[in-house]
Amino acid sequence: MVDVGQKADSERIACAIGQIKMSAAAFAHLDPQHNKKGDVLGIARIAAIQACKQTPHLIPLCHPLALTRVAVEFHANQAEHTVRIEVTAQTIGKTGVEMEALTGASIGLLTIYDMLKAVDKTMRIDGITLATKQGGKSGDFINPDVAKHTP
């Protein structure tokens, strides 16, 4: 692990995004009334939060962090049959929360896949990327590729 012992604590925020594309039939099953497994996005939200908290157990050499906030938002696009996830992780500490946000986005989308795979095994997860980060020695970052495509 990288030695962060001499670094000053600072507020750190990171936002990661990604999306899953699916068939019209699978998209219809996002509605809890049409899915016998239940509330797909509600369960995916809990999975994303849990994943953020478990990041140092999943990624070797990742520092365990005391997260102060995790927020998960979904944006469903019926015309394109996609669901976009945005995971924001926040802490006050010596190292950033980029990996927590990226892990949360990945697991949130994988949970959607798991809950809908009986309807559509061809779903595609893509575009998982760091959108923004704030704080720390390297300062703020806005992904220019994401900024062009963010509504």
Active site residues: 114
Tokens of 17: 């995004």
Is the CB of residue 59 less than 8 Å from the CB of residue 80? no
Please identify which residue in the block is written with the tokens 């061809």: 122
Give the pairing type, strands 10-21 and 141-142.
Answer: unpaired
CA distance 30 to 41: 7
Whats the size of the chain, residue-wise? 151
DSSP percent split of the chain into helix, strand, coil, nearest 5 = 35, 30, 35
